[in-house]
Amino acid sequence: MTRNTDTTHASCSDHTLAEQLEAALAARARAEAARDSLLDGIESALEGFVLYDADDRMVAFNSRFEKLFSPRVAMGMRFEDLIRSAVEQGLAPVGELGVEEWVARRMERHRNPGPPFKLRLNNGTWIRISEGRTRDGGLVGAYTDITELEEQREHLEELVKTTEAATARAEAAQRQLLDAIESSLEGFALYDASDRLVVYNSRYRDFFSGPERAVLPAEPFAVETPGASFELVIRTFAESGLSSLDGQTVDEWIAQRLERHRNPRGPFNLKHQDGTTIRVSERKTSDGGTICVYSDITELEEHRHRLEELVAKRTAKLEQRTEQLRKSREELERARDAAEQASIAKSEFLANMSHEIRTPMNGVIGIAELLEGTELSDQQRRYVSIILHSADTLMDLINDILDFSKIEAGRLELETIPFMLRDTLGDTLQTLAKRAADKGLELACHIPPEVPDHLMGDPTRLRQIIVNLVGNAIKFTENGEVVVDVTLVDQEDQGARLQFKVRDTGIGIPASQQERIFEAFAQADTSTTRQYGGTGLGLAIAAQLAEKMGGPMQLDSKPGVGSVFTFAADFGRAPEAQKARPVREAELRGRRVLVVDDNATNRQILEEIVVNWGMIPIVAVDGAAALNALEQASGALPDLALLDVMMPRMSGFELAACMRLRPALKETRIVMMSSAGRPSDEALLRKLDVSRLLVKPVKQSDLLNAITNALGFSMREDELEGTASPARLRTGPGLTVLLAEDGAVNRQVAVDLLTKRGHRVEAVGNGQEAVEAAEHGSYDLVLMDVHMPVMDGLAATAAIRALARAECARVPIIALTASATPADRERCLAAGMDGYVTKPFRASELFRVVEQYQPKPASAVAGPATAIPEQPAAAEASALDWDGALSNLDGDAALLRELAAMFLVEYPKLTAAIDAAHAGGDAAELRRAAHTLKGAADVIGAGGVVTAAQRLANLGREGRLEPVPEAQRALAAELDRLRPLLQRAASGA
């Protein structure tokens, strides 16, 4: 019985234990299911979650956290080991801290969790870390990827450059563990598949609370059985007036909210009645539940609104600035147009002033050259020489001023024409040879054989640079030499770059003055007692010309040693058709030549030239060395000797005499070289049988001619033509010239110059008369002034060309004008003119142009004279300065009386033309007539008339006719004062 009773009790006990075990297993299953559900919800969250126990070991984490630190994450891993591994693997940045210091600081923050903080990983990802302690001493961490938010913040900061960092995206769902969720800064809630609330934190609850009622209980809870439904929560929220319904009814708002909740499509914003903006992020879990994360983005929204307002303000300012820029652009365009008009006006002013200055200068130079051709006493001839020299100096100054003005206005253009470099430089230096010889200086030009000779470029501007640099070198050098060196920098098929050096042994330029030496009007010595004159324009112009031709001008100078000016220029290669045929090298090759010169530079240059021609040089530094060399070379005596005249101890003539005393040297041909300006003894040259006396510096072409002639070689006809001077005198009969010139004085000068030269001249006073004369007469040449009354020179030329008959030869027409700009030249050539000569012209220039035409030529083109810049002339305002005018004409009273009588006849016509021009409103004709009257009055010394006529000319140029009557009255008063004085003077009374 007892055994049965025990069995019964045991059976009951087993049954109880089984029931307890089953209950325990069921409870465990429910716990595990609840835990799995929570973990599944956390796994579905957008944030990385991690849970550490009280020993700081990892007990749970989701895949987002694992992915963030992969492959370093493992259950049971200590937090310190995790972050140390992240640092060592280069994931976490330590910045300027050491690894240990960074780890220590991170551990301190981990042990004492504070507010969330941001961290930028080395891969560029921004994360927001939220850490909080659990009730059992553990720690939960939420890692939110806020990269997109940070990038948006950085982008906004870049747009307005004043924004501050936007707040990080609201942290999403937290782990299901309540303490972990509660420690999050985001509102978190989990709804099950039936849409009933399972868990939430206090921040989620706060969103659904108002000042009078709370939708959810005060304490967060987690229930084993589902709590309130989502629809009930939002209905209570809406009906309590806590929601901003955005104009909808409660039911409409609830329906819309339910639809968003059941079909999550991405985060959206909700407005709380208190103005708070909440970013709602909802996501379905794997078991059909819903995770809700509510982030307060009020500050971010407010910041966005501030940014939008700031952008709007900046946009308004930008539009305002754009409008200001538009107005500024319009003002700049108006200023540009005004500057272009000013440039045009300046160009016209240059042309007009050039014409104004050249017209009286033509009278001065022309009359002076006429006087030079008459019988004069020595004193009178000196006076004429002074006048011509002063006129040349004035013209050089005018040219410099005009060139400088053109450069300043950007209107200076370079020509491209074929020329020969060696002849160009040789001719240029020979014009300066006398100045160098007067100071006892050696002047030389060194051009190595490899430098091409036939070039395309602007030889006029090259000459201008060389003349300026060499002229300055001569001016500032008292003894020694001035040398021009040319070297080849680069050469191609179509062009070459040459370097020019002008060096001297002069006073040098102090370093303090070298920086400003190329400035306009600058002088190294500006004191009132300075020894050397000059305007300071020359170097400025030369430097700017060099810049246009190929590169900046450079200076190397030491006081007391000398100066070297260097510049480079680019040239084209002349076409084959433009090259002269070279001399046959076989005629000189192998010939021996004695070269004697005490100057080392000259010896080097001569030796280089003759070696290039295939000759064998014997070089000596003086006469004694030359005789010694001849003694040693008795078996191979020279065929030719090139001897310098001026040498120490033994002159070139003495050396030649010694050579002639030696029978073996009687057949040696001698060519001597002397400085410019030194008198030559023709009898001595004949006695010593000197073949040729050349002036230094010697041109290579002249030296070649002298050598070939001395050795008995004849130049071919085409070579002789190439070396002939373009200004050679004509030997045939004089030409019949039609001269059209409205200025009586200038007309008289041209007629006298051409008549004395043996030409026949018919003069007319305007273009219409020139056309009529050309129609009924026969002329070899027409000299046509451009500015004339009735019909100007351009129109007259066009009319004459229209009258031309096919069976008649074309008559050359040469422009004769004081306007000297390239535009004037183009207009003349376009009108049908063949040549261009600027006033004031020198007799030689006029003869060169006129006498290059044979009677009845088919056509020819004369080269234009150099353009002359504008510079207003000054006139004394006296009624009549007879003595001054007489002095200007070198005391030729008869000529002055003739000019005075012509003025008395001409001026009434000119004043009538002025009256008619004013009455007809013709400003151009007014300017022309007044200008002609002014030029004629200037020649006879009528200063008052000059001043009054100039005022009228200025009014005509400016197109201002209102003040003309007053100016006419002033002119009439001056003429009334002048007339009796001039009549008495003209009659000799």
Around 544, how many Cα atoms within 13 Å sit in the side-chain half-sphere? 18
* Number of Cβ within a 10 Å radius of residue 431: 13
**Looking at this protein, which amino acid is placed at residue 639?**
D
Record the pTM. 0.44
Please list the ranges in the chain whose pLDDT falls under 50. Answer: 163, 165-176, 211-213, 220-225, 521-522, 524, 526-531, 533, 577-583, 714-731, 856-877
The predicted structure's pLDDT at residue 595: 94
Q: Among 584, 604, 587, 698, which residue's Cα sits nearest to residue 639?
A: 587
> How far apart are the C-alpha atoms of 902 and 707, rounded to whole Å?
56
The predicted structure's pLDDT at residue 708: 84
The predicted structure's pLDDT at residue 70: 73
Q: First-to-last CA distance in the chain?
A: 192
pLDDT in tens, 909-963: 888 889 888 888 888 888 888 888 887 888 788 888 888 888 898 888 888 888 8
The predicted structure's pLDDT at residue 401: 64
For residue 164, give both structure tokens.
């501050």
Strands 139-145 and 48-52, sheet pairing:
antiparallel
The predicted structure's pLDDT at residue 670: 93
The predicted structure's pLDDT at residue 676: 60
Report whether the peptide linkage leading into residue 869 is cis, meaning its omega lies within 30 degrees of zero. Answer: no
SS3 track for 750-818: HHHHHHHCCCEEEEECCHHHHHHHHHHCCCCEEEEECCCCCCCHHHHHHHHHHHCCCCCCCCCEEEEEC
Q: Among 280, 368, 199, 205, which residue's Cα sits nearest to residue 844?
A: 368
For residue 12, give both structure tokens.
């009951």
For residue 319, give both structure tokens.
């539009």
pLDDT in tens, 419-461: 889 888 888 888 788 888 888 888 899 999 889 988 999 888 8
Give yes or no for a contact between 773 and 811, defined as CB atoms under 8 angstroms apart. Answer: no
Residues 6+ apart with CB under 8 A from 874: none
Burial of 603 (C-beta count, 10 Å sphere; 0-12/13-18/19+)? buried
The predicted structure's pLDDT at residue 887: 66
Q: What's the count of helices (H) and strands (E) in the chain, helices before strands?
A: 31, 27
Count the residues in the chain.
989
For residue 925, give both structure tokens.
């004709």
For residue 682, which phi and psi values (nearest 5 degrees)?
-60, -40
Q: Among 441, 447, 492, 494, which residue's Cα sits nearest to residue 470?
A: 441
Residue 777 CA, distance from chain mean position = 55
